Amino acid sequence: MTTLKQKIQSMKCSEIVKSMIDGLKNVTEKGLHVDMSTFGRKAGNICFGCAATACVLEIGDLNAKDLEIEFFSSDNLQLAFETFSFEDFEFISVFEMAINGLRMGSIEIYNKYAKEIEISTLNENYAGELPYLSNFDYEENLYCYEDYYEFLLMQEKLANQD
């Protein structure tokens, strides 16, 4: 069985960005309420999480409602995901930091953490805007990240032509 770590390490940077976008678009379907201030918490039957949580749920094809805990964060992520056999919880914690950097509009922060866990880094030569995604405006600003995703796809296509 492929672990979440193995899956993430095999993904192209465009696929990672797309997973964050899709995760945020599918929060209701995934049983997640957006709260960019937490990597995850559960209050009763309601799960709250940020862009990183949404991304992890999207990549892992998971539903937040399946988590059997009251609170999860980068500090105790192992408890949150032990049901799903993830092999390296430190990896997931650093991955969440990378995605959090991306949702803040910082390719540099994303790349710092991406290098640490040996996943695809993002192209920094992007002239477009990547706005800070907050609880209140992430839906209206996702189009900027979709533009960046398209830019990354084009860069990957050009790289494959060489």
Q: Is-contact 119 101, C-beta < 8 A?
A: no
| Residue 9 in tokens | 């390490």
Angle between helices 51-59 and 13-25 (to 10 degrees): 110
Q: What is the pLDDT along the chain (162 residues), one digit of tens a residue?
A: 778 888 999 999 999 999 999 999 999 888 888 989 876 777 777 778 899 989 988 998 888 776 544 444 444 444 445 444 445 778 888 999 999 999 999 999 999 999 999 999 999 999 999 999 999 999 999 999 999 999 999 999 999 886
- Does the reported pTM lie above 0.75? yes
Phi, psi of 43, rounded to the nearest 5 degrees: -125, 105
Identify residue 131 by its one-letter amino acid code.
P
Q: So where are the chain's domains?
A: 4-161
Q: List b or e across 26-47, with b for residues whose CB sees 16 or more CB atoms inside 10 angstroms.
A: ebeebbbebebebbbbbeeeeb
